[in-house]
């Protein structure tokens, strides 16, 4: 009975805060706070172009917080180490199993650490590359070749990886693309406007996918 009450509360929380998104504050020393203008810019783009009504100021949430369940979409980024405690891991796993969505964007230097934590989070579910024909690349904007390349980093092709729970994409890990840098103010990285637009459009596709699936 208690499990049903928890799930019911989670679903009600999603309904009440369906237009709220958050950035995750994690432990381990990585700079979770990097890209301060990225989510506000993505929110503004989505509210203007795909008819969302997201709060202009994203919240900050920790993986052990009960507030996690208020947000249908949570963004995690940074350059370095990421560590979840057992309690945080259990809370985050329950959030994802209950309909939540986590987008992890490697800002460069996070890959080895976040893959370790993803494996600990769901040891029985393999992280798999998402093919270019997946619907997340074909929402409001078309990306027939998959993720756009925003920043070079190691000059590798951009890749999208996912964890699927009951055939639902619950965790998206974007690697060697750096969407978050593309969402930032143009003056931060001096990216060409066409590159920033691609990043914002891909971000809008992710938001649209989460809010409509």
Q: What is the pLDDT of residues 151-179, one digit of tens each?
A: 776 778 999 999 999 999 999 999 999 89
Q: What pLDDT sits at residue 109? A: 87
Mean pLDDT computed over 60-80: 95
Which residues contact residue 192 at a Cβ distance below 8 angstroms, ignoring those fewer than 6 apart? none
pLDDT at 72: 96
In this predicted model, what pLDDT tens digit does every residue of 4-61 receive, in sequence order? 334 434 444 444 345 799 999 999 988 999 989 999 999 999 999 999 999 999 999 9
| CA–CA separation, 56 and 61 (whole Å) | 16
Cα–Cα separations (whole angstroms), residue 213 to 81, 84, 139, 141, 143: 31, 27, 11, 16, 19
The predicted structure's pLDDT at residue 201: 98
The answer to whether 200 and 41 have CB atoms below 8 angstroms apart is: yes
Looking up tokens 């690697």 gives 175
pTM: 0.90
* Mean of pLDDT values over 180-209: 91
**In whole angstroms, what separates CA 99 from the centre of its chain?**
14
Tell me the average pLDDT of the chain.
90
Question: Scanning the structure block, which residue is given the tokens 């893959």?
Answer: 115
Q: What is the DSSP string of 52-64?
A: ----SS-EEE-TT
Taking the alpha carbons at both ends of the chain, their separation in whole angstroms is 27
In the chain, alpha helices (H): 2-16, 38-49, 86-97, 111-121, 179-183, 186-189, 193-211
Predicted pLDDT at 41? 96
pLDDT for 132 equals 97
pLDDT score for 18: 57
- Spell out the domain ranges in the chain: 2-211
Pairing of strands 102-106, 168-175: parallel
Q: What does the pLDDT average to over 64-92?
A: 96
Find where tokens 């976040």 sit.
Answer: 114
Instruction: State yes or no: pLDDT of 70 exceeds 90.
Output: yes
Sheet order of strands, 73-78 included: 59-61, 21-24, 73-78, 102-106, 168-175, 159-165, 128-129
Question: For 94-137, what is each residue's pLDDT tens digit?
Answer: 999 999 999 999 988 899 999 999 999 999 999 999 999 999 99
pLDDT at 98: 95
pLDDT at 203: 98
Cα–Cα dist 177/158, whole Å: 5
Q: H-helix or E-strand containing 133?
A: none
| Contact (CB, 8 A) for 121 and 87 | no
3-state secondary structure of 129: strand
CATH number of 2-211: 3.40.50.12140
């Amino acid at each position: 009975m208690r499990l049903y009450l928890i799930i019911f509360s989670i679903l009600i929380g999603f309904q009440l805060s369906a237009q709220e998104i958050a950035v995750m504050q994690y432990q381990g020393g990585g700079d979770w706070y990097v890209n301060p203008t990225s989510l506000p810019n993505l929110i503004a783009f989505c509210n203007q172009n795909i008819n969302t009504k997201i709060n202009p100021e994203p919240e900050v949430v920790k993986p052990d917080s009960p507030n996690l369940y208020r947000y249908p979409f949570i963004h995690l980024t940074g350059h370095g180490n990421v560590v979840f405690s057992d309690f945080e891991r259990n809370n985050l796993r329950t959030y994802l199993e209950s309909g939540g969505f986590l987008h992890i964007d490697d800002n460069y230097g996070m890959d080895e650490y976040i893959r370790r934590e993803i494996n600990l989070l769901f040891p029985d579910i393999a992280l798999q590359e998402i093919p270019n024909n997946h619907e997340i690349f074909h929402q409001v904007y078309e990306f027939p070749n998959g993720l756009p390349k925003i920043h070079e980093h190691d000059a590798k092709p951009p890749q999208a990886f996912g964890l699927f729970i009951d055939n639902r994409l619950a965790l998206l890990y974007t690697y060697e693309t750096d969407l978050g840098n593309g969402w930032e103010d143009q003056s931060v990285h001096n990216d060409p406007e066409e590159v920033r637009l691609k990043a914002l459009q891909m971000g809008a596709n992710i938001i649209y996918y989460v809010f409509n699936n």
